[in-house]
Chain A
């Protein structure tokens, strides 16, 4: 089945540690996105990528980094510079063949600080 896979489902981070969240899609989509969601809040855009080897900062990129070496993969690293990393992280992808293409979301990763 085509879709977006995020792993792990739950992740724990120690103080000063970098952690990487995985996002893989087999939908052949060019555009990929990372969002952060805090309890009771909406989605905030961290980074997005329109094409391989290119990505743009979203609204809350500080303390995060990404790479886009392959079309299928868009991993997100939460660095030690992110002082409040506890949140639900969502990855999404979208085709860009037409301007009205819809977003497909993964099932999310819950990150907590030990």
Chain B
């Protein structure tokens, strides 16, 4: 499995941008980087994913380092509803792509 490393927690103020980092130094060339978030007492929900290029959607942006060993999830203007645990995982392509493992994620606190 491609392991990921994230900070245990981060704090932000409402309306400010948030940059959530993730290291995945053992990533392979065809592995995808996915981000999920989990609100309290709920199942995780998909946020964004990417392969090599930076990606944007209505929820967030994903910046992927040129060597692909790290990535950053960007919330452009944090709101109180963005307070959650954010998980970065690597999804392998090919025959072993079914085993999907999560780390502990980053607990994001948003201050009003």
Judge: A and B partners, yes or no. Answer: yes
Distance of A45 Cα from B85 Cα, bound (Å): 17
Chain A at the B interface: mostly helix, strand, loop or mixed? strand
A1 to B: closest C-beta gap in Å: 15
Chain B interfacial residues counted at CB < 8 A: 27
Distance of A42 Cα from B103 Cα, bound (Å): 6
Residue of B whose beta carbon sits closest to that of A43: B102
> B24 contacts the other chain (Cβ, under 8 Å)?
no
Contact across chains for B49 and A100 when beta carbons are under 8 A apart:
yes
The 0/1 profile, CB within 8 Å of A marked 1, for residues 85-112 of chain B is 1010001111001111111110000000
- List residues of chain B with CB under 8 Å of any chain A CB: 30, 32, 34, 36, 41-46, 49, 51, 85, 87, 91-94, 97-105
> A59 contacts the other chain (Cβ, under 8 Å)?
yes
B45 to A: closest C-beta gap in Å: 7
B53 to A: closest C-beta gap in Å: 13
Contact across chains for A102 and B42 when beta carbons are under 8 A apart:
no
- Pick the contact of A107: B34, B42, B102 (CB < 8 A): B42
Residue of A whose beta carbon sits closest to that of B103: A42
Chain A interfacial residues counted at CB < 8 A: 27
Contact across chains for B44 and A103 when beta carbons are under 8 A apart:
yes
Given contacts A96-B98, A102-B49, whether A42 and B104 have CB atoms under 8 Å apart is yes
